Amino acid sequence: MTKLIKHQFSFPHPVETVWEYLTNSDLLAAWLMKNDFKPVIGHEFQFRTGPVASLNFDGIFYCKVLEIIPFKHLSYSWNCGPGDGEIALESVVNWDLERTENGTTLHLEHTGFAKKENLEMYNGLLLGWVEKLQKIANLLNA
Amino acid sequence: MAIPTLDVFQVIGDPSRRKMLMLLFAGSMTINNLADNFDMSRPAVSKHVKILETAGFISITDVGRERYCSLKKDGFDEMKAWISYFDKFWLSKLQKLEDLLNNKSLFDEPEK
């Protein structure tokens, strides 16, 4: 299983322009979600979208600005849950901007889902699932 | 005993429940066998087992007078569903950003 989500997009625009779209609340709302983001380390803010019933998600992302290096790097926590401010999933969103000959390459890394030991646990348990389930079935049928 | 409804991360966030899953990974066990591995009361063990069952991590099968616990896949699928959701989410959002920036170059920036 993937431990993180990675996407990379290139734009024929200078990093200053792309940075503006990542850090200006109104511009963010135009492509991402309604928000009260401010480019200030430690600022707590929310993104709001529609709820997703199948994930037991109420549609609010609780975020906090973690790092800002102007025109280069931006990261914030990205937590969400079923409602009433309860947090079920913790993660971090990282943006990195790379100045290129033709403009900007934007890198997104969405990582840190849950706690590290949970993921290791998950990966460990996922290995050999079919084999394991087969063994259990054999045991129960014995 | 009331069983709280926990999400998948809360369920495996508890060290005792993680240990139970690890033990069950080696093969199915009765609740009594499982309890032998823990320094806690039998009702406490039963409560953890119930939480794991409710969250879809294990299933309980009665064999004679014993209750056997076995690993089940559903609990893990939920975590995968979150990550898969975000993957698609970001792709569609970034495409939207691309569209916005493309339009911007048409209207706001002078032609090269």
Of A42-51, A74-83, B9-18, minimum mean pLDDT range: B9-18
Q: What ipTM describes this predicted complex?
A: 0.72
Closest to A72 in 3D by CA, of A23, A141, A140, A119: A23
DSSP result, A50-61: --BGGGTB-SEE
What is the total count of domains within chain A? 1
Instruction: Answer whether A117 sits within 8 Å of B63, measured CB to CB.
Output: no
Instruction: Answer whether B85 sits within 8 Å of A133, measured CB to CB.
Output: no
DSSP result, B23-90: HHHTS-EEHHHHHHTSSS-HHHHHHHHHHHHHTTSEEEEEETTEEEEEE-SHHHHHHHHHHHHHHHHH
- Please give the share of chain B, as a percent, with pLDDT higher than 90: 33
* Residue among A5, A31, A136 whose CB faces B71 most closely: A136
- A102 contacts A10 by C-beta, under 8 angstroms: yes
Average of pLDDT values for B98-109?
74
Name the strand (E) or helix (H) holding A35: strand A34-35
Q: Tell me, yes or no, if A121 comes closer than 8 A to chain B by beta carbon.
A: yes
Range of the domain at A78: 5-111
Position A117 scores a pLDDT of 40
Residue A88 has pLDDT above 60, yes or no: yes
- Residue A62 pairs with which residues in a beta bridge? A46, A79
Q: Per residue in B12-39, is it b (16+ CB within 10 Å) or e — as a string?
A: bbeebbbebbebbeeebbbbeebbeeee
Instruction: Answer whether A55 sits within 8 Å of B105, measured CB to CB.
Output: no
> Does a structural domain hold residue A97?
yes
Position A76 scores a pLDDT of 97
Position B105 scores a pLDDT of 60
Residue B83 has pLDDT above 60, yes or no: yes
Band (pLDDT 50/70/90 cuts) for residue A127 is: very low
Residue B63 has pLDDT above 80, yes or no: yes
Average of pLDDT values for B46-62?
89
How many CB atoms within 10 Å of residue A31? 18
- A9 contacts A97 by C-beta, under 8 angstroms: no
Average of pLDDT values for A24-36?
94
* Residue among B12, B25, B83 whose CB faces A5 most closely: B83
Position B110 scores a pLDDT of 46
Of the two residues A120 and A110, the one the predictor is more confident about is: A110
Inter-chain contacts counted by CB atoms under 8 A, chains A and B: 105
* Residue among B13, B83, B98 whose CB faces A113 most closely: B83
> Does a structural domain hold residue A139?
no
Position A2 scores a pLDDT of 45
Whole-angstrom Cα distance, residue B47 to residue B58? 13
- The domain that holds A22 is classified in CATH as 3.30.530.20
- Please give the share of chain B, as a percent, with pLDDT higher than 70: 80
Q: Tell me, yes or no, if A6 comes closer than 8 A to chain B by beta carbon.
A: no
Residue A77 has pLDDT above 70, yes or no: yes
Whole-angstrom Cα distance, residue B37 to residue A51? 41
* Residues A12-29: tens digit of each pLDDT: 999 999 999 999 999 999
> Does a structural domain hold residue A35?
yes
Position A114 scores a pLDDT of 59
Position B7 scores a pLDDT of 72
> Does a structural domain hold residue A127?
no
Of the two residues A44 and B8, the one the predictor is more confident about is: A44
Tokens standing for residue A25: 């609340």
- Residue A107 pairs with which residues in a beta bridge? A8, A96
B88 contact partners, CB below 8 Å, separation of at least 6: none
Residue A120 has pLDDT above 60, yes or no: no
Angle of helix A116-126 relative to helix B15-25, nearest 10 degrees, comes to 10
Q: What 8-state DSSP symbol labels residue A87? A: -
Whole-angstrom Cα distance, residue A10 to residue A17? 13
- Please give the share of chain A, as a percent, with pLDDT higher than 90: 51
